[in-house]
Structure formats: C-alpha cells, structure tokens
Amino acid sequence: MKIYWIKAQAPRRVLALVKHLGIDAQFIWMDAKAGAMKTAEYAALNPNCKAPTLVDGDFVLWESSAIMAYLCDKAGSDMWPSHRPDEQVQVLRWLSWNDNHWARAVGPFYFEYVVKATFGLGAPDPRALETAVPELKVLAAVLDGWLEGRDFVACSRLTIADFQLAAMACEWRQADMPLATYPNIVRWLDGLEGLPAWADPWPAKRAAPFTSDAVAV
Ligand SMILES: N[C@@H](CCC(=O)N[C@@H](CS)C(=O)NCC(=O)O)C(=O)O
C-alpha cells in the first residue's frame, strides 16, 4: 500500500491514522515545490493533483476522509465504525460538519499562517482575516458547547472525526485562530497532542520516482 503525501493538513489525518493503527504502508513524499503533483503520472492517480492519495494494488483512493475510512476497515478499527450504523452516522455528521463549515472557517487562518510559510507564499496578512473572525466564533461556540463533558467529538472515543476536525485547528496558536476562549476546544486539541501518532505523524521524506517533468494538468 502506498500513500502519497505532503506536509499539510489533509495528509496529516491519514499519516496519523496509519501510524496510530500500526498499518504497514509505503510513504511517498511529493515535492510540491518542484511540481511533483502536477506530473501526468500523479494526475493519473489523483486528477485533483492534491495529496493525500492512497494506492492499494489496483485500487486508488483520494480524499482524506475516504482514505481514513478505508484504512480503518482494512485494519478492523472502530475509529470508522462500519459495522455500527448508529455510530457511523455520528462520525459522518462531524466529517460533514467539518467539510461544510469548520474547515471553511479555520481555513483562512491556516492559509495565512501555515500554507503561506510552507509554500513560500509570502508573509501572513492579518487584515485578510478580520472578516473571518465572526464566522469562526459562531462555529467555535457550537463545537465548544458540544465538547462540554466530552473528550472526543463522536462515539465517546477517538474516531476519524477527531482527526478530520483537528487537522487545521491543531495549529491554532501558530495560526492566530481566536480559540483561546473556548476551553473545551483547547482541552480537546491539547488532548490529541498526547497521541504520539497525532503529535508527529510525518514519515521520512522519500520522493516519488516519477520520471516525467512537471506539466500543467
Ligand atoms: N479534501 C481533500 C483536500 C486535499 C488537499 O487540498 N490537499 C492539499 C494539502 S492539505 C494539497 O495537496 N495542496 C497542494 C496543492 O494544492 O498544490 C482531502 O481531504 O484529501
């Protein structure tokens, strides 16, 4: 099984899960700055030219939440409770909430402070975030209220929903997200940092053996 990755939030979910569950996989680092994800070979695997991508024999899968579900099924982990529809929908609810609401609210902060630094896109522009603060606060209040008396977002245990929601938010201090006044979110995120696989999910950088030059696809 191969997992194509870059050091960014969506691959982080998958890499952390692989490490946490002790799944045997080959990790292939994509040199994004050198255009590795824009090669025809990579586009054939993932037409979005994004990471992560999983290749398991002839089976190719992209989208980090789908990859996490696949990996849990393969490993027999209830972090994606396939055999408990009542639990599965709880996880699905938070995956959906993340993709439709939370990720959009924390994303601007993550972009300004983390993506720009990673890809050399210049200095963060705090003024660009002024209009993003109110929406983030609305959603943070929802999540903080939900996490009152809870250690995890779904099923009273660690699930892939925690990794889905925490992927950008875990860098909230660095990214100047206004989350300090939401004690349950801070407790939840700091608790996840206690998981070795979440705190350091990054494999060694072994690049893809792609031969074609980077091309616009
Ligand atoms: N919804 C996708 C997001 C994939 C995505 O946007 N990946 C980013 C890193 S977080 C990427 O590959 N960025 C590099 C680029 O766009 O060139 C998932 O969850 O897998």
For position 50, which CATH number holds?
3.40.30.10
Determine the pLDDT at residue 122: 95
Q: 50, 61, 65: which to mutate for ligand 1, most atoms within 8 A of CB?
A: 50
Q: Are residues 142 and 46 in the same domain?
A: no
Express each pLDDT in 44-63 by its tens digit: 999 999 999 999 999 999 99
Q: Are residues 16 and 93 in the same domain?
A: no
Q: Are residues 90 and 195 in the same domain?
A: yes
For residue 207, pLDDT over 90 is answered with no
Count of H helices and E strands in the chain? 10, 4
Distance in Å, CA 154 to ligand 1 centroid:
24
Burial of 131 (0-12, 13-18, 19+ CB in 10 A): exposed
CA atoms within 13 A on the CB side of 91: 26
Q: Domain range for residue 25?
A: 2-75
Give the residues surrounding ligand 1 with Cβ less than 6 Å away: 6, 8-10, 32, 37, 50-52, 63-64
For residue 214, pLDDT over 80 is answered with no
Retrieve residue 196's tokens. 């070795």
C-alpha dihedral, 134 to 109 to 111 to 47, nearest 10°: -60
Instruction: From residue 114, give the alpha-carbon distance in Å to each of 104, 110, 168, 175.
Output: 15, 5, 9, 7
For position 91, which CATH number holds?
1.20.1050.10
Q: Indicate which residue's Cα is closest to atom 12 of ligand 1.
A: 50
Specify the ligand 1 atom closest to the Cα of 67.
Answer: 20
Distance in Å, CA 134 to ligand 1 centroid:
25
Q: Indicate which residue's Cα is closest to atom 2 of ligand 1.
A: 63
What pTM was estimated for this model as a whole? Answer: 0.95
Q: Are residues 46 and 24 in the same domain?
A: yes
Specify the ligand 1 atom closest to the Cα of 50.
Answer: 12
Element (H, E) at 13: helix 9-21
Q: Are residues 64 and 101 in the same domain?
A: no
Q: How confident is the model at residue 28 (pLDDT cuts 50, 70, 90)?
A: very high
205: in domain: no
Express each pLDDT in 73-129 by its tens digit: 999 999 999 999 999 999 999 999 999 999 999 999 999 999 999 889 999 999 999
Specify the ligand 1 atom closest to the Cα of 167.
Answer: 10
Q: How many domains does the chain have?
A: 2
In angstroms, the CA 120 to CA 118 distance is 6
What stretches of 117-178 adopt beta strand conformation (E)? Answer: none
Determine the pLDDT at residue 217: 53
Retrieve residue 132's tokens. 């993003």
